[in-house]
Amino acid sequence: AQSVAQPEDQVNVAEGNPLTVKCTYSVSGNPYLFWYVQYPNRGLQFLLKYITGDNLVKGSYGFEAEFNKSQTSFHLKKPSALVSDSALYFCAVRDSVSGTASKLTFGTGTRLQVTL
Amino acid sequence: ETGVTQSPTHLIKTRGQQVTLRCSSQSGHNTVSWYQQALGQGPQFIFQYYREEENGRGNFPPRFSGLQFPNYSSELNVNALELDDSALYLCASSATSGGPPRYEQYFGPGTRLTVT
């Protein structure tokens, strides 16, 4: 069974500072990893993905994530946080050997609060 | 490019009733997945439809059922509603075939279901 852990319920950071939102995963095969962001009363918005290749992937709005196979982690990062980045962030994993069903398993989410 | 749309936005039902939620997939996407997001939780996979057939199911009882139509739109039906069915129901579309695989799913804004 595949699973995702987001160990922090909330991350607080000052605007202009770097931010990291942590994610670890467990799958039986090679992982496909994703980050989504959710604003209040909205659906999930895709930020970035890791499928294969370079361990550092870049996504929307200046976000990037680093895949670490030995630590089974896929932490989300941004060099300089903005107040508008404040939202709920979800890490998700899909097993590459799950067949035709592309089921995503999500973590419980991390609320990012960026203050002035 | 038209995004994923869902209707209705909000719905209030009484325990024991039945409900139908609707989803139109993003243009060019042939696969639809449904997720349930309870308050304070990450989305949970209900099932996925591809070529009008159920293509994978999560840990949800049979009273959760669905349909996919030839235009790739989809319905989620829930019978015998229970209080615990109160949640945000998210539809996501993806392209399973035709062109290079992209793997990510694109989510609609969701339907907020309240069961009283």
Contact B37, B105 (CB under 8 A): no
Nearest to B92 by CA among B79, B80, B104, B77: B104
> CB contact, 8 Å: A105 with chain B?
yes
Per-residue model confidence as pLDDT tens digits over B37-75 = 999 999 999 999 988 999 889 999 999 999 999 988 999
β-pair type (A110-115, A87-95): antiparallel
Residue with tokens 């932490």: A75
Does A43 sit within 8 Å of B4, measured CB to CB?
A: yes
Chain B contact probe: residue of A102, A105, A108, A111 with most B CBs at under 10 A? A102
The separation between CA B34 and the C-alpha centre of its own chain, rounded to angstroms, equals 3
CA atoms A88, A47, B112, B64: torsion sign: negative
Which among B42, B103, B109 has the least Cβ separation from residue A49?
A: B103
Q: How far is CA A18 from the centre of its chain?
A: 15
Q: Which of B6, B50, B103 sits opposite A51 (nearest CB)?
A: B103
In this prediction, residue A63 carries a pLDDT of 97
Could you read off the pLDDT of A44-94 as tens digits, one per residue? 999 999 998 899 999 999 999 999 999 999 999 999 999 999 999 999 998
Residue B101 pLDDT > 80:
no
| Chain A residues near residue B31 by CB distance under 8 angstroms | 102
- Could you tell me where the beta strands, DSSP code E, fall in chain B? 5-7, 10-13, 19-24, 31-37, 44-50, 53-57, 64-68, 74-78, 87-94, 106-107, 111-115
Chain A contact for B66 (CB, 8 A cutoff): no
* Cβ–Cβ below 8 Å for B45 and A51: no
pLDDT at site B102 = 67
